[in-house]
Structure 1
Amino acid sequence: MRRLCLLIVGMGLTLSAHAGEDLLSLYERAVLSSPELLSSQYTVDVLRAQEDRSYAALLPQVSISGNYSYNYFHSKGTSIFNPEVSTTYPGVRASINLQQPIFDLQAYLLMKSQEAKTTQSEEDLLSAHQKLISDLIDRYIDALEAADKSEITAAELRSTEQQLARTQAMQARQMAMVTDLYELQARTETLRTQLIDNDNNARIALEKLRELTGDAVTSLQPVRLDIAQPPPDGSIDNWSQQAGQLNPELRALKMAVESARQTINAYRAGYLPRIELQLSETYSDTAYNNRQSPPFDIATAGVQATVPIYDGGGTGAKIDEATARKKIAESQLEQKLREFEKLTRAAYLDMQTSPSRSLATDRQLAASEKSRDAMKKGHELGVVTIVDLLGAEKQLSEAKLQQRQARYRYFKARSSLYFQTGKLIAPELTKFNEWLVLRDKKIANKK
C-alpha cells in the first residue's frame, strides 16, 4: 500500500507541470474520482481491521469488574439461642482477570491467513490503479482515432465538394460528362453520411473518457507522427516471466492461494489442545449468597488446557471447505497466468513489429499522395476518369488513417505489455504524455 501511495504522490508532482486535456490531466481527474479505486481502498481498510482483530486473539485479555450491592438479611429463629435476625448491609466485590494464550496454533495460523488476505487486497488496489491507467490510455487513443476518422473524412469531403463545384460549372458549359457529375454527387453524399457517423463516434469516444474522469472531456491532444518507436528490451520469454512475477493481479491470486493454505493448516490445528494462562485477584466483603463476611482478597494463578475430543465432524468439514477453496484459487491463478502470458507475448510481438509497420504506412501515404496528385492532373487533362480520381482520394484518406493507426497500435501494444508486467506506473504514463503534441497555450487562449 505504501508503494501505491508513493506512486500516486509521484504522479501528482508531475501533474502540476502540465495543463490541458492531455493524459496526465485526465489521469489526475480520473484517479480522484474513480469508484473502483475507492472501493479497493475501502476493501483494504476492511481487511486490515480484520487482520487486527485476528491478531487480538493472541494478545492478553484483561478485564476488571466491580459490584456494589445493598443487601437485606433475614433469618428465622430456631431457638432461644438462635433468635430471629433481620439486618441490612452494603456489599462490595471487585476483581481483575487476565487471560493469555500460551499455545493456540489455530489462532496464530488464522492470523497468518488474514495477513495474506490483506496483502492480496493491497495488490488488488495496485492492480486497479494500473488498470485505470491502461483504460485511460486505451480510451484516449480510441478517442484520437475516432477524431482522426472525422478529420480525414472532412478533408476528403472538402476536396470532393471542390471537384463537384468545378464539374458542375464545366457541365453547365457542356464541358463535363453528366456521369462524372452524378458520380461526384453520390460520393459527396456518401462522405457527408460518413462524416455524421464519424462525428458522432468521436463524441461517444469522449463520453467514454467522461466515464473515467467523472466530468466532461471537450478536447484531446493529438499524437505526434514523428516519435521514435523503440522495440521492447529483452526477449519475449523474459517479459512473460516478469508478467508472472510482477503483475499485481497475479500476485494477489498467489496471496489468495497462500491464505487458503494457511486456513487449511489453521483448521487442522483445531484438533490440537489450547493452553491458556489465567491470573485473577478478587476483593470482597460478602461471601456465598452475598452473606456478609469480613473483607478478604483472593489471588489466583492457573493454567487451563482445553483438549478437543469430538465436535460432530465440524472441524473436518471446515478443512474440506478450505481445501476446495484453495483448489479454486489455484485454478484461477493458473487461468490468469496463461491469459497474461498470451497477452504479454501478443503485445511484445505487436510492439516489436510496430516500427516496420509505421515505416510502411509512411511510404504508403507518400505513394498515395503522389498517386492522387497524378490522378488529379490526369483528370484535368482528360486522360483519367472521375472514378479513378475518387478512388485515389479514397486511397489517400485510408493511407492517412493507417499511418496514424500504426502509431496508435504501438501505443496500445506498449500499454498492454507494461500493464501485463506490472510496470504501467507514473514514469510510463509520463512517456505517453510526452508523445502527444502540446498545443500552444497562446493560440488556445485566442480560440
Structure 2
Amino acid sequence: MRAHLRPLALACVLAALPGLAAATDLLQAWQAAQQHDRTLAVARAAHAAAQPQRDQAAALWRPGVALTAAAGVANGETQMHGAQFSAPGMGPTNGANVATSITGGTATRWQLQASQPLYNPQRRAQQEQLRLQADMADLQWQAQQQQAMLRTAQRYLDVAVAQEALRVIDQQHAAVQKAAEEAQERYRVGSAPITDTHEASARLAALRASQVAAQVDLDVKRRLLADATGLPTATLQARLPAAPASELLSTALALEAWQQQAEDGNPGIRLQTLAAEAARAEARKHSLGAAPSVDLVAQAGQERLHGSGAYGTAQNKNLSAMVGVQLTVPLYTGGWRSAKEEESLRLQDKAEAETLSTREQVAQQVQAAWLGLRMGAQRVHALEQAQVASRARLDATQTGHEVGDRTLLDLLNAQNDDAATALALAQARSALLIDHLRLALLAGQLDEARLRAVNQALAPAQ
C-alpha cells in the first residue's frame, strides 16, 4: 500500500505548489515509475522468484534427513531351525526349531535415514546450472531497469514534444486569427482584396484541425506517461530539452569504443552468454547421468508385528541400525538419459547460435544509435541556425506586409515555416537525448546518474 501512495503523494505536492505542476521533471517521473510501472513490477517479481535458486544450489550438497512410519494390519509367519533355545530354570537347548504365526495382527514400522552426498558429478552440474539461472535473473532485472529508464524518458519527452506542438499551433492560430481580422478590416475599407480574407480563413480552418489532432496526440502521450508513473495527467507538464546538451555529447566516444563497451557490458549479450553456459551445464548433467555416486548414509529403524495365530499370541520385533557408505551405479534407464542428453546438446547449439546472433544485433544497434547521436547533433545545429533565419524572415515579412511589400500569403507562409522549424528543433533535441540514453543502454551503462545528467539538460520550468 505504501508503495502505491508515493506517486500520489508526489502528485499532490506538485499540484499544491503554485506553478510547480508545470515543472514535473524527468527524475520525478522515473521515481514514480519505479513504483508504478507494470512491466517493471513483473520483472521485480520474476527477479525475487529466482533468488531461492542459489539456496537450492547450496542445498544440493547438504545432508538430507527423512523419517518414515507406517501402521496397519498384517499377517506374518516365521520359522527358525537349528536355533539355541533357553528359558528361566532350564539350560540352553541346541538345534531347536522355533515358529510363530500371526494372522490379522497389528503392524508398525518406522525408519530414520540421513544421507550426505560425497561424490555426485550430476548433482555438481545441477548446482552449477541453478547458480547460472540465478545470475541470469540478476541480469534480466538489471536489463529491465535500464529499459524502464529509457521507456520513461521516451514517454516523458514524447509528452514534452506534444506539448510544444500544441503550443506552436496555438501560437500560430492566434497569429493567423489576428491576420484574418486585419485582412477582413482591410477588405472592408477597400485596401486589400478579398483573396487575403479567403487565404487567412482557409489557413485558420486548417490550423483548427491541427489543433484538434495535436490535443488528441498530447492526451494520448500523457495517458501513456500517467499509466507508467501513476501521476495524474494534470501534473504531467514535461520540460523540453534546452540547447544544445553539449555536456552530454562531449563525452561521446568513438564507435569502436562503444562497440567494445557493448560487447563487455550489454545486458542482452551477457544474458545470452549465461544462457549458453546454462545449456552446457544441462548437457553435462545428462551426460553424467550414468556416472556413479557415493553417499554417506546412516539409518535406524524398527519393525513390530503383534497378534494371534496358529500357535497363540505372538510378537515379532526387529531393530536395525547402520552407518556406512552407499555406492549407486545407474545401469539402464530405457534410453531416457541418452535421449535427454541428445536434446540438451541440440539446445546447447541453439543457445550458442543465439549468442552470436545477439552480438551481431547489438553491434548493429550500437552503430545506429551512435550515428543517430552524431548526425542528430549536426541536425540540431542546423535547425538552430534555421530557426534564427526563419525568425529573421518572419520579422522582415511582417514589416514588409505592414508597408505593402509582402502579401498576406507571404506572411502566412513565413509564420508556418517558423512554426515548423521550432517544432522540428524540439523534436530533434528530444531525439538526441533519447539516442544518448539508448547508446548508454546498449553499453549497459544506463543508470540514474546518466538520467540525472539528461534531466539537467532540460529547459528550466516556465
TM range (shorter): 0.7 to 0.9
Q: Report the counterpart of residue 64 of structure 2 in structure 1.
A: 61
Measured in 2, the distance between the counterparts of 1:83 and 1:29 equals 82
SS in 2 for 1:58: coil
Matched, 1:359 2:391: no
Give the CA deviation at 1:141. 1.1
Unpaired runs of 5+ residues, structure 1, are 1-11, 76-81, 441-447
Matched, 1:180 2:196: yes
Measured in 2, the distance between the counterparts of 1:130 and 1:288 equals 73
**TM-superposition CA deviations, 1:349-406 (whole Å, max 9, x none):** 2223444332222211111111111111212222222222211111111121122222
Matched, 1:220 2:242: no
Residue pairs, 1:13-412, within 5 angstroms: 21-65=24-68, 95-218=111-234, 219-229=236-246, 230-282=249-301, 292=315, 298-412=320-434
Measured in 1, the distance between the counterparts of 2:439 and 2:101 equals 93
TM-score between the two structures when normalised by the length of structure 2:
0.82
Measured in 2, the distance between the counterparts of 1:171 and 1:202 equals 37
Task: Go from structure 1 to structure 2 and tell me whether the alpha carbon gap of 1:206 and 1:84 turns closer, same or farther (over 3 Å shift).
Answer: closer
Q: Report the counterpart of residue 418 of structure 1 in structure 2.
A: 440
Measured in 2, the distance between the counterparts of 1:415 and 1:288 equals 82
TM-score between the two structures when normalised by the length of structure 1:
0.84
**TM-superposition CA deviations, 1:388-443 (whole Å, max 9, x none):** 22111111111211222221121011011111111111101111222223437xxx
Give the CA deviation at 1:346. 1.7
Deviates more, 1:19-28 or 1:282-291: 282-291
Instruction: Assess if the C-alpha contact under 8 Å between 1:231 and 1:352 holds in 2.
Output: no
Task: Go from structure 1 to structure 2 and tell me whether the alpha carbon gap of 1:72 and 1:409 turns closer, same or farther (over 3 Å shift).
Answer: closer
Q: Report the counterpart of residue 89 of structure 2 in structure 1.
A: none
Measured in 2, the distance between the counterparts of 1:88 and 1:168 equals 115
Deviates more, 1:339-348 or 1:265-274: 339-348
Q: Report the counterpart of residue 6 of structure 1 in structure 2.
A: none
Instruction: Assess if the C-alpha contact under 8 Å between 2:102 and 2:307 holds in 1.
Output: no
Task: Go from structure 1 to structure 2 and tell me whether the alpha carbon gap of 1:173 and 1:323 turns closer, same or farther (over 3 Å shift).
Answer: same
The size of the alignment, in residue pairs, is 422
Instruction: Assess if the C-alpha contact under 8 Å between 2:242 and 2:459 holds in 1.
Output: no
Instruction: Assess if the C-alpha contact under 8 Å between 1:221 and 1:438 holds in 2.
Output: no
SS in 2 for 1:311: coil
Measured in 1, the distance between the counterparts of 2:163 and 2:45 equals 37
Instruction: Assess if the C-alpha contact under 8 Å between 2:103 and 2:307 holds in 1.
Output: no
SS in 2 for 1:384: coil
Give the CA deviation at 1:244. 1.9
Measured in 1, the distance between the counterparts of 2:104 and 2:443 equals 80
Measured in 2, the distance between the counterparts of 1:74 and 1:344 equals 81
Instruction: Assess if the C-alpha contact under 8 Å between 1:113 and 1:263 holds in 2.
Output: yes
Give the CA deviation at 1:277. 2.2
Measured in 2, the distance between the counterparts of 1:248 and 1:384 equals 59
SS in 1 for 2:426: helix
